[in-house]
Amino acid sequence: MRVLDTAALLHWPLTKLNGKVVLGQRDELIRIAPDREIILDAAELDWMTPSPENIQQATKLAKSTGDLAGLSNTDLELLALTIQLDAILVTDDYRLQNCCAASSLVYETVMTTGISEKWSWYLVCTGCGEINQNGDVSSKQNNHGTCANCGSKYKMRKIQNE
């Protein structure tokens, strides 16, 4: 069972749109992409409202990870619904992913096939903070060489391509 965030509702084809959603997403979606309404009506979606207890749990979780301030009401409801149904949360929101990772919740990304285009990696020096865009980020051993400026180790960072 999956709880789908708004990015999934926006980007997934009708055949894939099968899951649980919260009521707040409908207004959000119709505002962003009015032409998706017909698709939403045709999709197999359960529009739900999480219980106050689960909202409370979600709030507590988001507070503990420091993500609460960055989450919208809809985000919080999605997290609460995921807790309530013990479902998989489909989201590209890193705050929601962070909340899932901090508890026992499972998440999936919306653009599962597009990950290589969506993210790029670069190296950043742990000493002076210099960014090396051309470094070797393919190493699995976490050995990405050392900084030409200060000799400290590089570590990998990823950035989202918009």
d(CA 87, CA 81): 8
Residue 23 has which token pair?
Answer: 């009521």
Q: Tokens 């919306």 correspond to what residue?
A: 110
Provide the angle, in degrees to the nearest 10, between the axes of the packed helices 73-85 and 94-102: 30
Residue 128 Cβ vs Zn ion, minimum distance, rounded to whole Å = 3
CA 4-8-14 angle, 5° bins: 100
Q: Which residue is nearest to Zn ion (CB)?
A: 147
Residue 133 Cβ vs Zn ion, minimum distance, rounded to whole Å = 14
Contacting range for Zn ion; rule: CB under 5 A; set: 4-12, 38-46, 75-83, 151-159: 151-159
Q: By CB under 5 A, is residue 123 in contact with Zn ion?
A: no
Q: By CB under 5 A, is residue 149 in contact with Zn ion?
A: yes
Q: How many residues bind to Zn ion according to rule CB under 5 A?
A: 8
Contact string 128-147 vs Zn ion (x = CB under 5 A): x-x----------------x
> Of 43, 125, 135, 144, which one interacts with Zn ion (CB under 5 A)?
125
Residues pairing with 155 in the sheet: 124
Residue 27 has which token pair?
Answer: 């207004």
State how beta strands 88-90 and 131-132 pair: unpaired
Which stretches of the chain bind Zn ion, using CB under 5 A? 125, 127-128, 130, 147, 149-150, 152
